[in-house]
Amino acid sequence: MKKWIVPILILVLIAIWGFRVNNSVVDLNEDVKEAWGNVQNSYQRRNDLIGNLVNTVKGAADFEKSTLEAVVKARAEATKPEININNADDLSPEKLEQLNKAQSGLSSALSRLLLVVEKYPDLKTNQNFLKLQDELTSTENTIQTARTRYNEAIKPYNQYVNKAPQSLISGIIGYSEKPYFDADAGAEKPVEVDFSK
């Protein structure tokens, strides 16, 4: 009877350790999901604001139609179901890269829109437009903060699921490394400022 006690005790300790690893991975994964949800909420707020902004700008009769079309097209691209990642468990480096590319295209089109507005004094004094512009600026800051917090949630998660010995259990129960948000392509280049225009 005594010879069975040691193997049973070892199995019980392994089972307890396995449950602790599982619970820790679940807690860390929930932090990642929460952070990802905040990123998605920020993107959704920007998309809603852009729709209102485009409608406000359309009121300027001679506003460049091509600029508005570029914003609308970029917004549609950024909200495509195949690009939008609603669940943090579906994140992959490839999907995150697609999302980053679409969101960067939207930010670029929006920047062009806001630059073109400078040519329209009536639009620059429109209170609705000014309020939307301020809200967009605030939302861009919120997006950056949400992306930073997502990366901060990813780090302990990735460290945990990649370190031995818990990586054995993590892999068995289906948890693997998740991608970080990287800087947009070309972000490392200095911004060119031209005051001659």
Domain boundaries, the chain: 22-172
- Contact between residue 77 and residue 99 where contact means Cβ atoms under 8 Å apart: no
Higher pLDDT, 182 or 104: 104
Report residue 194's pLDDT band, with 50, 70 and 90 as the boundaries: very low
Indicate the class that CATH gives domain 22-172. mainly alpha
Let me know: does 57 contact 103? Beta carbons within 8 Å: no
- Write the DSSP symbol of residue 119: G
Read off the pTM: 0.76
pLDDT for the residue numbered 142: 93
Q: What does the alpha-carbon distance between residue 64 and residue 57 come to, in Å, rounded to a whole number?
A: 10
Query: Across residues 165-180, what is the average pLDDT?
Result: 89
pLDDT of res. 63: 63
Region of poorest pLDDT, from 19-28, 115-124, 136-145: 115-124
Q: Which residue has the higher pLDDT, 97 or 85?
A: 97
What is the distance between the alpha carbons of residues 154 and 156, in angstroms, rounded to a whole number? 6
Which pair of tokens denotes residue 69? 């079309």
Q: Give the pLDDT confidence score for residue 7 in this predicted structure.
A: 87
> Residue 186 above 80 pLDDT?
no
Directed axis angle between helix 65-78 and helix 93-116, to 10°?
160
Mean pLDDT of 156-160: 95
Measured torsion, CA atoms of residues 151, 50, 63, 192, in degrees rounded to the nearest 10: -10
3-state helix, strand, coil in the chain (%, to 5): 75, 0, 25
